[in-house]
Structure 1
Amino acid sequence: MGVFQILMKKKELIPLAVIISVAAGGASSFAVYSLRNKTDVIIDRKKNPEPWETVDPSVPQKVLTIYIYIYIFFFASP
């Protein structure tokens, strides 16, 4: 039995299949976007073997300190 035959027999699965398909498509398109447009993701190390040498010091880097968020969320809230 094919996927479409199962969906036509059990119509309650159609919204679930649509939601999963849209989520998978969005995740795939975001992965492709990140690989193509973001500078902190590197695929070809032969072209740029030392990417840390081209970092602009005037641009603030994106760093996530998770311990600060945990402290604020659990301990600092009244």
Structure 2
Amino acid sequence: MNVFQLLMKKKELIPLALIMTFAASGASSFAVYSLKKTDVIVDRKGNPEPWDAVDPTVPQK
């Protein structure tokens, strides 16, 4: 059975489907956002020690 057919048959599930879709897209976008931050290391083989390139004169958080 198709998901849309089920939602048309049981209309009380539509708000739940919308909330779950919104939560999943928010979690996915936060995961992608977190990977773009500078303190997250994704490629350890290319640059195993990225903290060596930090400029000590620039204030950090």
Superposition TM-score tier, normalisation by shorter sequence: 0.7 to 0.9
When normalised by structure 2's length, the TM-score is 0.80
Unpaired runs of at least 5, structure 1: 61-78
The equivalent of 1:29 in structure 2 is 29
Shift of 1:16: 0.4
Three-state SS of the structure 1 residue aligned to 2:19 is helix
Aligned partners of 1:14 and 1:24: how far apart in 2? 15
The equivalent of 1:45 in structure 2 is 44
When normalised by structure 1's length, the TM-score is 0.65
Shift of 1:52: 3.3
Shift of 1:21: 0.2
The equivalent of 1:74 in structure 2 is none
For CA contacts below 8 A with separation 6 or more, give which structure has more relative contact order. Answer: 2
Shift of 1:56: 5.1
Three-state SS of the structure 1 residue aligned to 2:38 is coil
Aligned length: 59
